[in-house]
Amino acid sequence: MTAKVMVFLAVIGLLAGCGPAATPSPTPTGPVKLSLAAATPPVVGGEVGSASTEFDDAAQLALWSKLSDTEQDLDRLAKADVNTTVKGSLYLEPKPSTWFDGFRGPFLYQELAGPIAMHMRVKVDGKKGGLPKRKFSLGGAMLRAPGSKDKPNWLSITVGTADASGQVEVKDTRDGSSKTDAFTVKDGWIDLVLARTDRLVAALYKEDGGAWKVGKRWARAELPYVLQWGVTAYTDWDSFAALKKDAAKANAQQIKGLADLKLTVDFVRFLRPALPKYVDPLNSASVSDDVLIKLLTPAGA
């Protein structure tokens, strides 16, 4: 028998020994759909649960870092207290400021790792009652990549006055460029959720007495494992005038204007969402809005 024939037979024998394992797995024709019954709400408590704050003790303010302190920035908060101005709540009054593109505003946060669903209940008022009169006077939830001062990367869901009064605004800022969407809501208390899984960030909201709605889903797999999670409030974009096109100059000074925002935060609670690995939360055919709501909002909320 020649050497070539022996090699040929050896190869045939090797392939035969591989059996079914040598057959490639079939390629899925579409996303795996997660049913509502199979979805489970995020887990309360645990490591991240210990960071939750009910704001029933003035000393709890010290548990939250202020971005202006940690990054040696201007303090754009005129007032910040817990269980003082409003009993059982965090209370913030920002100076004229904003979070948009490279502009920076106030931010109170905790650094937490991994998949998280941050749930808070907030109310925004103008200084003289009703909703704020000054454009882009908003308050709510924000997550931010640490150390991204020079190359801003953060996302938020806030409520108040955006282009018009009575709006929820969702905002995605990547490398200093912001994109927004807004939804009309009624005045009063509102629940907000900002959640992050392996590659998804989602923003959800619920009007008082209403049902949860999905504001936005974003693909943000590049975000670091540890993020800054917390509360923001800003007001009075109208007063930025010529500085609306110059973030660097605006960030270097305190804008003088007509601040018109009072933010009351009833609580901030951190939960662990658990999404099955086989689903695609960015695809509504795999994870529908009602299923995503169940996965990212507390049971009974």
**Could you tell me if residue 30 is inside a domain?**
no
Whether the pLDDT of residue 96 is over 70: the answer is yes
Binned at pLDDT 50, 70 and 90, residue 45 comes out as confident
**Could you tell me if residue 31 is inside a domain?**
no
**Could you tell me if residue 2 is inside a domain?**
no
**Could you give the CA distance from residue 166 to residue 144 in angstroms, rounded to a whole number?**
25
**Could you give the CA distance from residue 127 to residue 170 in angstroms, rounded to a whole number?**
23
User: What's the mean pLDDT in 193-211?
Assistant: 96
**Could you tell me if residue 24 is inside a domain?**
no
Query: Which residues, including other chains, have CB under 8 Å from residue 10's CB and lie 6 or more apart?
Result: none
- Chain-centre distance for alpha carbon 300: 21
User: What's the mean pLDDT in 283-290?
Assistant: 97
Count structural domains, the chain.
1
**Could you tell me if residue 280 is inside a domain?**
yes
**Could you tell me if residue 146 is inside a domain?**
yes
Binned at pLDDT 50, 70 and 90, residue 47 comes out as confident
Half-sphere exposure of 55 (CA within 13 A, CB side): 24
**Could you give the CA distance from residue 191 to residue 232 in angstroms, rounded to a whole number?**
15
User: What's the mean pLDDT in 107-132?
Assistant: 97
* 240-281 residue pLDDT tens: 999 999 999 999 999 999 999 999 999 999 999 999 999 999
Domain hosting residue 177, numbered range: 43-296
Q: What CATH number corresponds to the domain at position 139?
A: 2.60.120.200
**Could you tell me if residue 23 is inside a domain?**
no
**Could you tell me if residue 7 is inside a domain?**
no
